[in-house]
Amino acid sequence: MKKLMSLIIVATLIFAGFAQAESLKIEGSTTVGPIADAFAEYFKSNLGISDITVTKNGSGNGAAAIADGRADIGIMSRFMKDKEFAACVSKGVMPVAHVVAMDGVCVAVHPSNPVKALTIEQVRDIYTGKITNWKDLGGPNLAIVCITRDSASGTFETFEGLVMNKEKMHDKTEEVASNPQMHSRISTTKGAIGYLGLGFVDYKVSALTINGIKPSRKTISSGAYPISRPLFMFTNGYPKLGSAVHKFISFHLSEEGQEIVETKGFVPLTDY
């Protein structure tokens, strides 16, 4: 009995030692950063893995961090480019992509605006300044106020990549620094058009149907809605089952993980 007890004690000590030794280094996209941050917070308070660092310095650095082995998880808002993938392979690293959430950007207008649907091309023409009045789109005679996000934001990156097609926005495009600020500008400005994460859309702004598809959790998670993209976490090979890395990249499948994804303004992959 005594032996068994001591064995148990030793075993717990060893496990405790292992649990403490587990650390996670995460690096990459500023878009996926908030999800990784919130996951890390949950892991720290509920799973006792305290040594998690999240560095947000862009998707490119996420790929580089995996290639150099300086991070366990590289977070990216796009898939690796050929070059980045090749760099990994040449260093003996096998990048494996895990999609943890979908990012859908809703184009929204003031609720009083009768325009309810646009095509991607029309949205682009508005932002490049080819269309400047709502009457050209079947709306009232009202000047369009274009609002964009700061170019450091992931939302801007998504919009720019999926809508603007490398064309420049016109000079009068206003810029705001956050989703809530975008929401308040759209909801208080009659002629406004802007874009924001699905999680921030409510009755005070009217999210437009784009190319005939209404933005919703379903259309974004299935990828039918045209302004949506997957968000990735890259690891070197598939992580050892049960390891901290494995728990982290599969956390989005749990109910808590999905809730976190949603509170950060993104769309979970699965319905809970």
Partner 1 sequence: MSKPEEGNKSVNNEPVTRGRESLVLSSSQNMRGLIYALLGKWSLLTVAALSIVAIILIFVFVSKNAYPFFKEISILTFLGTNDWHPTSTDHPSYGALASIVGTVYVTINSLLVAVPIGIFTAVFLSDMVSHKLRNIIKPIIEILAAIPSVAYGFFAVKIFAPWLQNEFGMTTGTNVINASIMLAVMALPTIISVAEDAISNVPRELREASYGLGSTRAETMFKVVLPAAHSGIIAAVILGMMRSLGETMIVWMAAGNALNIPSPWWDLSQSVRTITATIAGETLEAARDTMHYYSLFALGVILLMVTFVLNLVSEYFLRKAKIKH
The closest of 182, 190, 185 to 113, measured between CA atoms, is 190
- Please identify, using beta-carbon distances, which residue of 60 and 199 lies nearer to partner 1: 60
Q: Where are the beta strands (DSSP E) in 110-215?
A: 117-118, 145-149, 174-176, 192-197, 206-207, 209-210
Instruction: Kindly give the pairing relationship between strand 228-236 and strand 95-109.
Output: antiparallel
End-to-end CA distance of the chain: 46
Confirm or reject binding of residue 174 to partner 1 (CB under 8 A): yes
Confirm or reject binding of residue 168 to partner 1 (CB under 8 A): yes
Residue with tokens 């956050």: 178
Encoded tokens for 228: 């949506």
User: Of these, 189, 209, 216, 250, which contacts partner 1 (CB under 8 A)?
Assistant: 189
Confirm or reject binding of residue 271 to partner 1 (CB under 8 A): no
User: Of these, 24, 26, 29, 30, which contacts partner 1 (CB under 8 A)?
Assistant: 30
Phi first, then psi: what are they for 131, rounded to 5°?
A: -110, 125
User: Of these, 150, 255, 263, 272, which contacts partner 1 (CB under 8 A)?
Assistant: 150
Cross-strand pairs, 23: 51
- Closest approach of partner 1 to the CB of residue 174, in Å: 4
Size of the site for partner 1 (CB under 8 A): 25
Site for partner 1 in 125-144 (CB under 8 A): 143
Confirm or reject binding of residue 12 to partner 1 (CB under 8 A): no
Q: Which residues here bind partner 1, judged by CB under 8 A?
A: 30, 58, 60, 143, 145, 150-152, 166, 168, 171-177, 181, 184-185, 188-192
